[in-house]
């Protein structure tokens, strides 16, 4: 069955927040009056996240759980996008979502292929700790803008996308970890998709997950993207020059 909107919620070890998050998103969808499905993509939880989502899904038929054996934020998004049926795909995080992005589905996404929430755009409010804000700014300035020439201010976070526009982009992506939606946004911009950024208000409701193996995996993926995307960017500029 096809829906107007598919809402993707990646979840790993989110037992403390997951039920409140899903209830809030459900209530927002009812308030706005949209035809939706919600896919919770669970990847590698060792707490009671799966049980809590299953309990919620039993009482809410529009919600399904998709269990991915391989842990990772990116692989969760890829599997969710592949399983989606909505004309629009909305990406929300358990600790960060905004019902304004659901309203956009009612106005054809303002004629954009992707509307992305930016924590660094003027008008945004970033309530995360200093360390996380600094990492975001350095990532944007050094990696996105200087190395890869991305024109936006942020890539990681909530967004609403036109499914038919982004499916071909997803098929070209080579990363499946936390850096995935950065690759997705860079490739989308280079493919000429229409992208709009909106300011968002972010607050920290749990400690950062940027630790352990993730500290080493992200730099490796950055190097991988630089190797793959920089030559493509150069070729595209030469072709249109």
Range of the domain at 36: 5-240
CATH number of the domain encompassing residue 135: 3.90.550.10
Q: What DSSP assignment string belongs to 99-135?
A: THHHHGGGGGGGG-SEEEEESSSTT-EEES-HHHHHH
Output the average pLDDT for the chain.
85
Mean pLDDT value of segment 71-99: 93
Per-residue model confidence as pLDDT tens digits over 100-116: 999 999 999 999 999 99
Per-residue model confidence as pLDDT tens digits over 129-140: 676 666 667 777
Is the pLDDT assigned to residue 232 strictly greater than 70?
no
**Bigger pLDDT: 228 vs 25:** 25
> Total domain count for the chain?
1
Is the pLDDT assigned to residue 76 strictly greater than 70?
yes
Is the pLDDT assigned to residue 213 strictly greater than 70?
no
Tell me what pLDDT residue 153 has. Answer: 87
What is the model's pTM?
0.86
Show Cβ contacts of residue 120 under 8 Å, excluding neighbours closer than 6 positions: 126, 136, 137, 140, 153, 154
**Bigger pLDDT: 237 vs 4:** 4
Per-residue model confidence as pLDDT tens digits over 15-68: 999 999 999 999 999 999 999 999 999 988 899 999 999 999 999 999 999 999
């Amino acid at each position: 069955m096809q829906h107007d909107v598919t809402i993707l919620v990646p979840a790993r070890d989110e037992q403390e927040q997951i039920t409140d998050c899903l209830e809030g998103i459900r209530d927002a969808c009812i308030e706005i009056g949209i035809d939706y499905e919600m896919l919770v993509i669970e990847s590698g939880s060792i707490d009671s996240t799966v049980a809590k989502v299953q309990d919620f899904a039993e009482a809410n038929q529009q919600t399904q759980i998709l269990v991915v054996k391989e842990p990772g934020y990116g692989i969760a998004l890829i599997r969710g996008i592949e399983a989606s049926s909505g004309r629009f795909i909305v990406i929300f995080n358990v600790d960060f979502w905004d019902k304004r992005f659901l309203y956009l589905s009612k106005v054809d996404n303002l004629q954009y292929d992707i509307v992305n929430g930016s924590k660094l755009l003027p008008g945004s409010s970033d309530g995360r700790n200093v360390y996380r804000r600094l990492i975001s700014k350095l990532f944007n300035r050094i990696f996105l803008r200087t190395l890869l020439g991305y024109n936006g201010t942020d890539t990681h976070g909530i967004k609403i996308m036109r499914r038919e526009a982004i499916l071909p982009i997803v098929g070209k992506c080579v990363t499946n970890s936390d850096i995935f939606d950065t690759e997705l946004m860079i490739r989308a911009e280079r493919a000429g998709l229409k992208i709009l950024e909106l300011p968002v208000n972010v607050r920290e409701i749990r400690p950062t997950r940027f630790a352990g193996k993730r500290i080493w995996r992200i730099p490796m993926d950055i190097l991988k993207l630089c190797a793959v995307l920089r030559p493509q960017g150069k070729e595209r500029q030469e072709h249109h020059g």
